[in-house]
Structure 1
Amino acid sequence: MSIARLQKLSVVGPQAEERPALEALQDLGCMHLLPLAPPPDQPEDVPDRGAKAALQALRFLSELPDPRRQLRRDPDFDILTFVPRVLDLRDRLRETGDRRDFLAHRISEVTPWGDLIFPPREELAGLHLWFYKLPLKERAALETLEIPWQIVHRDSRFHYVVLIAHDEPDPALLPVPRTHTGALPVSELQAQLEETEIELEELAAERHGLTRYLDLMRERMSLAETRAELDYARRQVLHDDGLFAVQGWVPEDRIGAVGEAAQRLGLAMLTEPPAGQDTPPTLLKQPEMRGAGRDLALFYQVPGYRDWDPTILVTVSFAVFFAMIVADAGYGMVIALITGALWGRLGATPHSRSWRRMIGIVAAATILFGVLIGSYFGYPLPASSPLMRLKIMDIDDFGTMMTLSIVIGVLHLVLANLLGARTRWGSTTAYASLGWCVVLIGGLGVWLADPGTALRVGSAGLAGAGLLAILAFSSDQPLDSPKGWFWRAAGGLQGLAGAMGAFGDVLSYMRLFALGLASASLALTFNDLAGQVRDAVPGLGLLLALMILVVGHTLNFGLALMSGVVHGLRLNYIEFFKWGLTGEGTAFRPFARKEVQE
């Protein structure tokens, strides 16, 4: 549960060694590159990081529903030349399709005029033909024309009119704009359309034939990604007077490996610890079995380099919140059964196994909480059941469940402020975080204690002391001048303004009770409805009741899953991170080679 300590590492050498140096760094896969070269003048010249072209080519071929039989081995297959070929085919298909659509539209527009073949220009004595599609109701507009005209065709909607004039007629002469028919006759357009459709079929056949390489392409994608990463890195390198320099952040435990590579290539290397103004990327050091928790922790916000790793806390709190929202042991068992059915598929990679473990933790927490409140698909077990002895709460006991939700919320936010104070330790603002801990605990004591008791009085005093600490320490402005005192006081007042936010954040945890009650109530409603139908309809009622139970609980299960995921994560991302993390960081992205899968 830690954020890896990094060093800023610079490698310098002659330009002749640039490519070997970058390839060596890529093999090590431990450097987060920093740009040393000046940015391009044009934004479109900024290099893409990743095999964007290869992914586009793969998507273009995989969109076909019936790919050809896949080739497993082809010694001549080279993805670096195959990708441009596929993208060129994609562009030609797009251009040919556009040309086909244009020709089809042009033919539909020109056909009513007939197969027009224009005479040579000199035979018209300088006159031109002007074409108009005139609605039938506008027929009277032709009678006022002072230039020759002729209706050459008529359908249910339009008169197709040709005017003869030296210059284009005034646009106000007729109530419709002029129609552009083009210089080619319909027969020529139809011939071009036929040729275009044949070309389109040939290109489509070529595309279909290339789908036989999909599996090989997926296997070789890593090679394209490696090349793209190398091209991206070369754009970050600084060149000056025959030398090159590359810089990046490297974990402290990999500095030695980089040093050995630099020494082997005869390069100079310099390491520096992060300075106060530096913002190193964040690299969470977690075993692979916690990969799912790391994904959840980084999904919404990357903690800053100088913050703490929220992986384990997010995993535990998410499981607890999910269990309280679903609030049914039966639904927890369904999750466990689905996980068991997908056990082998979820164990294909270490990362998928971490997600299998996460789902197992969530299922176990849901079953445990469902047992504690005695809910099994909305039904309570008989009082004689051994499991009912484990029931210690009732979801319908509003007072107990509301208190439980508020207590969990206060403890969660207190933990967040303690971790925030630890991050800020050495600054006066750390005492403000501790002040918030005191305020939250004192406020909880005031709410729980009876009026007039020593507990309530003591809790109120505790909360007041916390507010004084917030007022005094919310700003780290030095007090060496009247101006400093002013800004310290202003910062304290601003900190106190967060009291309403803290109150609202605590109340946000009421959703644990509210959503859990909604899930349990909906399950109970479907159970009652099924029972009523069974009793009201003899014979067929049992089948109808089973259908209501299946459909109803499936719907409720889906809603409970969505609520558990969305709100279980929301309480971590919004309330917990707000008080616990001091800022947002940048994820560590290593410059690494992708392994080629054979």
Structure 2
Amino acid sequence: MNKIAVLGLIEERSELLKSLMKMGVVEIDQVEPDEELRDRIQNPNVQNDLAKIDNSLTEILRALDILSQYVPVKKPMFSARRIVSESDYSAILKNKNKILADADKINRFEDEIAKMKSEENRIKTLLTSLNPWLELDIPLDVINTRYTFCYTGSLPSGTDLKKFQEAIQGEFPESDLLTGKSDADHHYVMLIGHKSIETEMLSLARAWGWNRIVLRDVEGNAKRSKARLEERLQSLLKEREEKIKGIIKMADERERLETIYDSLQMDRAKIEAKSRLISTRSAFLLKGWLPAEHSSKVTEYLDEHYFCMVEIEAPAKDEEFPVLLKNGPVVESISPIINMYGVPSSLEIDPSPITFPFYIFFFGLMLGDGGYGILIALFTGIILKKYRLEDSTRVFMKLLFFCGLSTILAGFLFGSWFGIASLSKTALWIVPTEQPELMMSYSILIGIIHMYTGLFMKALNLIRRGQILDAVFDVGFIYVMFTGFILSLLPFAPGISISSSSGIVQAGYKIFIVGVVLVLATNGRKSKNIFGKIFGGLPRLYDVVSFFSDCLSYTRILALGLASAIIGDIVNTLSAALGGNFIVKLLVMVPILLFGHTLNFALNALGAYVHSSRLQFLEFFGKFLEGGGQAFKPLKANTKYIIIKTENNLFLNSGLKTGIV
């Protein structure tokens, strides 16, 4: 990775940033002007520009969501962004304003549809409120005359209407009651009376539980009002259908809307990048990073197309720089696992090449059934061959493909194929269900090799920084201590018969003591006081306990492998134990086998993925990987819907070396 600095003319700033985005290999750092120069040099204020673009992005995204709602597009199971040529992209950009207007039109259609739906719901509510009064031939919009009042209302369903009428008319002879329909909860009653007795009559009615109902937007009697509202409702439905048809007709604009959306995203990224530069009235300064392999080509391109000065500089020996991991087509498949843990420091060795074989080997041993491995390899292989995938999906599918191959290897080693017990005799190595104790020891041995490799990586990182003595003291002496500890525990290893008086065990005791002495003597060396130098190594002795605990963690290889084999065998035994004639047996056996093996495969494949990752994150990376690196984030077109095929893609396609660039 190299540093890059570009000093250019302000009028060429936008075009230069556009070119850098097409290249997609330059990360732009934030540059701050010196305090004494802030009155003449400053970072451009881009807040208004960003707000304007964000508003347009919101409008387009909403329009696309509306189109997806009314005109859904069925996408394949594995879909990738569309590839658009630079000429087609430019042609669409020429109609940018029209396309933005189309997005606004779609959104207005949806707003009008929403208003219509609201009005329809209001009318439906009114129609429901009119139902109790349909049998009354009296204008509901007249609630009073010069001398009378006429109020609609309801009574609880438990009220005796006859007694209620007698009570009202007995108290107020100059009144009348009109009864509408009743339902399970209410009686609907209209009170008519002289205005002189309105207050007293309403008080008495309320004492019986009568509540006034105000009917709005009615004209004439209930039947007439209902007919008018139904006519209005039908008109709204037709109008809404026309708006929906208008949206559907604009479905052909979907791809252009997507293109403009990504165009605005790119504009936004360029504006954000512009804010990281420092500028005067006539010039600007850009600083950042780019892969060393691209330095000469980027410099040549900028010198040829712009009036600017480009300076390339290698980072200092111990200077941190953005991390870009580049590996071959096989090893790159482990990047999803590495990225889940975090980005390694730029001063560390790329852990990908050494993590890859361990990860897929652990996955294979944990799933353990070659038949399941065939399914994984076939499924992912077909996807990789048939579909054009996004990079992240393609890399993950490749990882699963290699895990499938590893599981097939485990099937040969264990003689395990779809849980068929009779095939265990074909095992090339060991049958875990028959020798679980020995398999446990093998699992621990594999774990020891894994952790020793992690310590070796730690030593390489120390040597890379010139700390050769630290590599000897902090790794070499730990090797000695751990090796002696392992050899001294061999008599207790399950499935292995080694006497505690054997030479290798006795040698282990001595090696362990030597290792402890060396660790105690050297691990306090960095302490500034004599007490720390003498006793500073004591805490490192606890590493023995931690190492033993880590060794036991690898027994999960045995546990998951046994689970897969045993459950598969149980499924096969259950299906074979069914009686009846051949046809009945077949009809029952096939669903049991399909369901049982699908469940076994899903659970144990997920378990293998999770626990293989765990062994890398805790037991392996914990030995050497410090992390804390910053991922390389170049200025490039991070699009959602399209990929623009530009000449710069070919111009920079030089092939990078593996490792941390």
Conserved? CA contact 2:421–2:569, under 8 Å: no
Give the match for residue 157 of structure 1.
185
Is 1:522 matched up with 2:564?
A: no
> Superposition pairs for residues 128-527 of structure 1, below 5 Å?
136=157, 155-158=183-186, 197-214=237-254, 223=263, 225-264=265-304, 265-271=306-312, 273-274=314-315, 279-339=320-380, 341-342=382-383, 344-345=385-386, 358-381=399-422, 387-388=426-427, 390-424=428-462, 425-426=465-466, 431-432=473-474, 437-438=479-480, 440-449=482-491, 450-451=499-500, 453-461=505-513, 464-465=516-517, 468=520, 472=524, 479-480=527-528, 502-527=547-572
Change (3 A) 1:490 1:6: farther
Give the match for residue 634 of structure 2.
590
Change (3 A) 1:371 1:157: same
Alignment partners' CA distance in 1, 2:550 and 2:571: 33
Alignment partners' CA distance in 2, 1:209 and 1:91: 14
Deviations 1:144-167 (A, max 9, x none): 9xxx999996643246799989xx
Alignment partners' CA distance in 2, 1:381 and 1:113: 75
> Superposition pairs for residues 107-126 of structure 1, below 5 Å?
107-111=123-127, 114=130
Q: CA deviation at 1:503?
A: 4.2
Alignment partners' CA distance in 2, 1:261 and 1:135: 86
Deviations 1:479-502 (A, max 9, x none): 4468xx77x999977766666554
Is 1:537 matched up with 2:537?
A: no
Give the match for residue 30 of structure 1.
25
Change (3 A) 1:492 1:456: closer
Change (3 A) 1:491 1:176: farther
Conserved? CA contact 1:54–1:224, under 8 Å: no
Give the match for residue 67 of structure 2.
61
Change (3 A) 1:60 1:588: farther
Change (3 A) 1:578 1:410: same
Deviations 1:515-562 (A, max 9, x none): 1000000111122222322xx434346413344333322332232322
> Superposition pairs for residues 3-18 of structure 1, below 5 Å?
5-7=1-3, 9-18=4-13
Alignment partners' CA distance in 2, 1:28 and 1:54: 27
Deviations 1:298-340 (A, max 9, x none): 2442222222222222321221011101112222233344355
Change (3 A) 1:62 1:100: closer
Give the match for residue 194 of structure 2.
none
Q: Secondary structure at the match of 2:344?
A: coil
Q: CA deviation at 1:369?
A: 1.8
Task: Give the AA of the match of 2:112.
Answer: T
- Residues paired across the two proteins, number: 568
Alignment partners' CA distance in 1, 2:211 and 2:511: 83
What TM-score results when the alignment is normalised by the length of structure 1?
Answer: 0.75
Change (3 A) 1:174 1:232: farther
Alignment partners' CA distance in 1, 2:210 and 2:10: 68
Task: Give the AA of the match of 2:451.
Answer: L
Q: Which range moves more in the overlay, 520-529 or 562-571?
A: 562-571
Q: Secondary structure at the match of 1:375?
A: coil
Deviations 1:161-200 (A, max 9, x none): 99989xxx9xx99999998977788779777765654453
Task: Give the AA of the match of 1:587.
Answer: A
Is 1:548 matched up with 2:543?
A: no
Structure 1: which 5+ runs fail to align?
A: none
Change (3 A) 1:342 1:439: same
Q: CA deviation at 1:564?
A: 2.2
Conserved? CA contact 1:289–1:351, under 8 Å: no
Change (3 A) 1:20 1:338: closer
Alignment partners' CA distance in 1, 2:382 and 2:310: 53
Q: Identity of paired residues, percent?
A: 23
Give the match for residue 495 of structure 2.
none
Task: Give the AA of the match of 1:522.
Answer: I
Conserved? CA contact 2:575–2:593, under 8 Å: yes
Conserved? CA contact 1:339–1:359, under 8 Å: yes
Alignment partners' CA distance in 2, 1:434 and 1:124: 109
Q: Secondary structure at the match of 2:489?
A: helix
Alignment partners' CA distance in 2, 1:502 and 1:160: 82
Conserved? CA contact 2:480–2:511, under 8 Å: no
Change (3 A) 1:274 1:139: farther
Q: Secondary structure at the match of 1:303?
A: coil
Q: CA deviation at 1:378?
A: 2.0
Q: CA deviation at 1:402?
A: 0.8
Change (3 A) 1:67 1:284: closer
Give the match for residue 569 of structure 1.
613
Task: Give the AA of the match of 1:446.
Answer: S
Give the match for residue 111 of structure 2.
95
Alignment partner of 1:21 out of 16, 23, 26: 16
Q: Secondary structure at the match of 1:269?
A: strand
Conserved? CA contact 1:410–1:506, under 8 Å: yes
Give the match for residue 650 of structure 2.
none
Q: CA deviation at 1:509?
A: 1.9
Change (3 A) 1:45 1:300: farther
Alignment partners' CA distance in 2, 1:512 and 1:332: 16
Higher CA-based Rg: 2
Task: Give the AA of the match of 1:516.
Answer: G
Q: CA deviation at 1:406?
A: 1.3
Q: Secondary structure at the match of 2:577?
A: helix
What TM-score results when the alignment is normalised by the length of structure 2?
Answer: 0.69
Conserved? CA contact 1:12–1:269, under 8 Å: yes
Q: CA deviation at 1:41?
A: 8.1
Q: Which range moves more in the overlay, 316-325 or 76-85?
A: 76-85
Task: Give the AA of the match of 1:563.
Answer: G
Change (3 A) 1:481 1:66: closer
Conserved? CA contact 2:71–2:248, under 8 Å: no
Deviations 1:49-101 (A, max 9, x none): x9887666555434556669xxx999975574466346435543553354344
Q: CA deviation at 1:514?
A: 0.2
Conserved? CA contact 1:321–1:512, under 8 Å: yes
Conserved? CA contact 1:292–1:351, under 8 Å: no
